[in-house]
A and B are shown apart, each in its own frame.
Chain A
């Protein structure tokens, strides 16, 4: 009989980084057309890593929007720590440098 094992969602992901110290969970609530509360969270080293993840996520979601012909700079990601305290709020527009001028 095959008994299948699994690890908990969100445990340290990279196979080559098992030496990393204890990681904290951060919740990433995305406020776009809907408000979707994050129920899972991501385990990351610290608030700086959470900020990097939010930046990368906002940019990727904007790419998705752009391929559909829109861009919503007011959408935002709000990050909370495990205890529910706010860590940061990032508007999509603040995740990119926007250039509109001529030369």
Chain B
């Protein structure tokens, strides 16, 4: 497979956050500029490092600029449940300026760039009604994603759940311009997919082989290709309505 790197977003000057928020509707130029400015000075964080821990009271809101991260809870026996995957353009902890203390941890999964946005700057941004509404929309979509994960874990079998997760990540990556002809970076291990869905690694492995043998996907070296999106959508009962694309006002 040659040239497998996804192309950058069409409007390369806009940050992933702008691309994501504009799936809801166009932002005013000044709002777009204010959001793009958040990306000016991100910090590099290595793979599998905590961005923030349960119990932390951060002075900053963290915004994913590059790379993948995950929300997680650790159980007393050391088992881990991942409750969200975070990709460029996602806020890690927008709510913590209101809630005060983290009730879960966030770890990078890959080498990442993360913007640290001071609370005062966030207050300034959320003081604009248009951005306050856009951030509220993003929070509501995060909640909708969480609802879909509950359904995934509670009511879908392993094949459907993994297919559903792949469809969801495909649409989210497409929103920020990181899908190229059905291909996108999916830098997740089988264990991380299992931790998100409550499955064992071997079971995840088995389902991925089946998705492959049915010619729905291929997945090599962290690069996922969807060969038949409609069929995958159908097999996993995926309906992207909960991502609320293009539903402004």
List chain A positions with a Cβ less than 8 A from chain B: 1-16, 18, 28, 30, 32, 34, 36-40, 42, 53-54, 56-61, 64, 67-68, 77
Contacts and interface: CB of A to CB of B under 8 A. Distances in A.
Interface in B93-126: 107-112
Contacts, number: 130
25 contacts: A2-B8, A4-B6, A5-B66, A5-B187, A6-B68, A6-B186, A6-B222, A9-B190, A9-B219, A11-B189, A14-B48, A15-B48, A15-B108, A34-B210, A36-B213, A38-B205, A40-B190, A42-B190, A42-B191, A53-B201, A57-B202, A57-B205, A61-B206, A64-B157, A64-B158
B62 to A, nearest CB: 15
B202 A7 contact: no
Interface in B140-162: 157-158
Nearest to B224: A9
A4 to B, nearest CB: 5
Nearest to A28: B202
B220 interface: yes
B163 interface: no
B8 A1 contact: yes
Contacts of B176: 2
Interface string B192-234: 1001000111110110111011000001111100000000000
B206 A36 contact: yes
B63 interface: no
A6 B203 contact: no
B67 to A, nearest CB: 6
Contact of A57 (B111, B157, B188, B200): B200
B222 A9 contact: yes
Residue among A5, A34, A42, A56 with most chain B CB within 10 A: A5
B47 interface: yes
B142 to A, nearest CB: 20
A58 B202 CA distance: 8
B209 A53 contact: no
Contacts of B108: 15
Contact of A5 (B80, B110, B192, B212): B110
Contact of A28 (B47, B88, B205): B205
B81 interface: no
Contacts of A77: 202
B168 interface: no
A80 B130 CA distance: 57
